[in-house]
Amino acid sequence: MPQSNHAGRDRDAARKDDVIQIRASAGTKAILSRAAGLRGQKLSEFMLDSARRQAEETILDQRAFFLDADAHQKLLDLLDAPDKP
């Protein structure tokens, strides 16, 4: 079975039981179709890949944050400081 960078993607590719319907303007569909064509993908494949990537980023944004060295040290100092009454 092929390896995947994201858990569950191979499983999703094997079973596509659910349907997602979406309405869009003709202009939006044209842009999406053009982008899909540039990537050599079907429109539905492009839309699903793009939406999934955005969803994963949104979820990750809620669970992780990144700090430079100075901000990291300030955070550690705040966490180590005694509670204020």
Task: Provide the whole-model pTM.
Answer: 0.57
pLDDT for 11: 53
pLDDT for 2: 41
Q: Rounded to 10 degrees, what is the CA torsion of 75, 76, 80, 81? A: -40
Question: Along the 85 residues of the chain, how does pLDDT read in single tens digits?
Answer: 344 445 555 555 668 889 999 999 999 999 999 999 999 999 999 999 999 999 999 998 887 778 999 999 999 999 999 888 7
Inter-residue contact 56 to 6 (CB < 8 Å): yes
Nearest to 48, CA basis, from 20, 28, 72: 20
pLDDT for 4: 45
Radius of gyration of the chain (CA): 21
